[in-house]
């Protein structure tokens, strides 16, 4: 089962992905997750936090999806195509 980190303000997307069988964990933008990022298969962020945790500089194999303007179904389809 893929492990997904999702920004905590994206609850509808979190619920949708959980219903689809993903192991989804909310993360706070105040937490330091750079090291733990290696434990996730994907990270879903809100567009306003594009440089969330310095993600552009983080050395991780996790898929990063900017969910700004996307429906839960679109995020799901993006995950399916990229994982």
> Which architecture characterizes domain 3-82 according to CATH?
3-Layer(aba) Sandwich (3.40)
pLDDT at 1: 75
pLDDT at 2: 86
Among positive and negative, which fits the CA dihedral 26, 15, 9, 44? positive
Is 42 within 8 Å of 64 (Cβ atoms)?
Answer: yes
Q: Give this prediction's pTM.
A: 0.79
Domain boundaries, given as residue ranges, for the chain: 3-82
List, for the chain, all residue ranges whose pLDDT scores fall below the cut of 50.
57
DSSP structure class, residue 16: H
pLDDT at 77: 97
Among positive and negative, which fits the CA dihedral 10, 73, 49, 43? positive
């Amino acid at each position: 089962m893929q492990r997904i980190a999702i920004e905590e303000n994206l609850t509808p997307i979190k619920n949708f992905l959980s219903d689809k069988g993903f192991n989804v964990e909310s993360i706070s933008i105040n937490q330091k997750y750079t090291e733990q990022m290696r434990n996730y298969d994907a990270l879903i962020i809100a567009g306003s936090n594009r440089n969330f945790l310095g993600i552009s500089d983080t050395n991780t194999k996790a898929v990063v999806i900017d969910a700004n303007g996307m429906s839960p179904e679109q995020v799901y389809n993006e995950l399916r195509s990229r994982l």
